[in-house]
Structure 1
Amino acid sequence: MRLLKLAFASLAALVIGTSAAYAIDVNKHIAAPGQMLVVWAIASEFCSIKDWHPAVADCQESKEGDATFRTITLKDGRKIKEKLDASDDTSYSYEIVESPLPVKNYQAKLWVEPDERDPSRTVIHWDATFDANGKSDDEAKKTISDIFTAGLKGIKQKAMPPEGQEDKN
């Protein structure tokens, strides 16, 4: 009986010890006017974030061996260093290397796909998995969610036709 109690205690400690390690997920998307490859051209370059994200003042791309990095300077002067993990014709994935944001173990993907309901539109997705770092899970999730929402709106705004020249398709 003592051995059984010890086994249950060990199992409980294992479950409690690992339950706090669940990653946080943020999955955002927005539909934008335009064909997929046209919309993707707005965001496809790793450092183009400076052109469409309202919080980004600058972005510098660099190489370290075979790896590609970007150092983002936010409008408040803080810097984020990210490593490009993979890219193709409609997506890229990356991870944060250094950041003032309340996250760690951060991996994300920005990608596009045709809008199934309207072929003249594109759906832009931005997904991430991470752990909170120095803030609660809810605070970390809100921070990343707000960043993604602002960025997706920025891409959509860039994809909008000039006023008075709305897409008739």
Structure 2
Amino acid sequence: MASTSVSRVVPASPQQVWNLIGGFDSLPGWLPYIPESTALEGGRVRRLTNPDGDVIIERLVAFDEAERHYSYAILQAPFPVTGYVSTLRVHAVAGRDDVAEVQWSGRFTPDGVTDAEAEDLFAGIYRDGLAALHQALAS
């Protein structure tokens, strides 16, 4: 099993960040790669569409409002992996209430690619996503 994790400090309090990203169906509000999200099964599943029209279906597998994190599994996606589970987490930064650290991590089994290729793919997705989040919060 392969894994990757990317973190970034963003210009908002942990609660402000969580208010933007903590909803499982909130990706279109901050992630340009996902312009459309449809909540299914009472909000436990999301059907995402990317700009190319590819469909990604994910299931919420863990959610903790107090600790500000959730985990999800990919059920269907155009990615070369199986068994994908990811966590999006918001941390406080010691001594600061005007910034937060956001960590996006995932573990998965590469399918038809090397561990390094799959890790690079998701590290890029996470890095670009956290850069978009930073930009959304800074504007």
Following TM superposition, by how much is the alpha carbon of 1:142 offset from its aligned partner in structure 2, in angstroms? 1.3
Following TM superposition, by how much is the alpha carbon of 1:31 offset from its aligned partner in structure 2, in angstroms? 0.3
Following TM superposition, by how much is the alpha carbon of 1:117 offset from its aligned partner in structure 2, in angstroms? 5.3
Larger radius of gyration: 1
User: Out of 123, 132, 139, which is 1:145 matched to?
Assistant: 123
**Is residue 61 of structure 2 the alignment partner of residue 78 of structure 1?**
no
Aligned to 1:49: 27
How far, CA to CA, are the matches of 1:84 and 1:37 in structure 2? 20
How far, CA to CA, are the matches of 2:125 and 2:109 in structure 1? 16
Once the two structures are superposed, the pairs formed by residues 90-169 of structure 1 within 5 Å of their partners are 90-116=68-94, 118-160=96-138, 162=139
**Aligned residue pair count:** 137
Q: Which residue identity is paired with 2:92? A: P
Structure ranking higher in strand proportion: 2
Task: Work out which structure has the larger RCO, using CA pairs closer than 8 Å and 6 or more positions apart in sequence.
Answer: 2
Q: 1:24-72 deviations in whole A, cap 9, x for unaligned?
A: 11111100112111111110111111121121121111007xx710111
Structure 1 segments of 4+ aligned residues over 3 angstroms from their partners: none
Aligned sequence identity (%): 26
How far, CA to CA, are the matches of 2:134 and 2:94 in structure 1? 17
Q: Secondary structure at the match of 2:129?
A: helix
TM-score normalised to the size of structure 1? 0.76
Unpaired runs of at least 5, structure 1: 1-22, 163-169
TM-score normalised to the size of structure 2? 0.92
Whether the 8 Å CA contact 1:104–1:133 is kept in 2: the answer is yes
Q: 1:97-154 deviations in whole A, cap 9, x for unaligned?
A: 1111111111111010111253321000101111101222222111111111111111
How far, CA to CA, are the matches of 1:157 and 1:128 in structure 2? 23
CA RMSD after TM alignment: 1.5
Unpaired runs of at least 5, structure 2: none
**Is residue 1 of structure 2 the alignment partner of residue 26 of structure 1?**
no
